[in-house]
Amino acid sequence: MKINVITTAILAVLTFVSCNSEPSLQKYFVENTDNKDFIALDVSPSILNLEKTKLSAEQKDAVNSFNKMNILAFKANDKNQAQFETERKKVTAILKNPKYQELMKFGSGKDGASISYVGTDENITEFIVFANRKENGFAVVRVLGNNMNPNNIMTLMSVLKESKIDMEQLKPLQQLIK
């Protein structure tokens, strides 16, 4: 009898703890993935199309720390400016959570971009790039990985320049650019 009461209490506590109603980018992505006004895309490391044998040890570490990228974009037009503003404010509010530590901010007002991260300086689990422009819309890019650090990201950027990116994975984003 005591075991059943204790087990029930533990399950109840776990249920309340796991039902976190706090907004997060992950929840925002899930809520809007099937929304017709958004373009959602998951990109795997295979997009880089790299010959791993030609990479230095540092470059291999950087590439191996990268798991995937999630992209969510909202295409603005004359008819959906109110919705654009609402969605942009939602993302901005989420990124104000102390969990998301801002590294850099570009631009001002309603046009610009920011780069944030989740984790510690030496163990970053997520980099977030948020760019928005009233005429075009906005995009949120989540770079997910394990044990990433700023050096890995800089190295990954240099590897990107040399990669033969598989543009097929990025086809859905062409709608946003049109």
122-145 residue pLDDT tens: 889 998 999 998 888 999 999 898
Q: How many domains, the chain?
A: 1
Give the residue-averaged pLDDT of 143-167: 78
Range of the domain at 145: 21-177
Measured in whole angstroms, the distance separating CA 164 from the mean position of its chain's CA atoms is 22
User: What is the average pLDDT value for the chain, to the nearest integer?
Assistant: 80
For the cut 60, the answer to whether the pLDDT of residue 30 exceeds it is yes
Sheet containing strand 66-75, strands side by side: 38-43, 66-75, 137-148, 123-133, 111-120, 101-108
Tell whether pTM > 0.85: no
The residue with greater pLDDT, 60 or 108, is: 60
- The answer to whether residue 13 is domain-embedded is no
Is the pLDDT higher at 110 or at 35? 35
Looking at the domain assignment, is residue 63 inside a domain?
Answer: yes
Task: Tally Cβ neighbours within 10 Å of residue 49.
Answer: 12
Residue bearing the bigger pLDDT, 87 or 153: 87
The reply to whether 134 falls in a domain is: yes
First to last CA, the chain: 65
Asked if residue 119 belongs to a domain, the reply is: yes
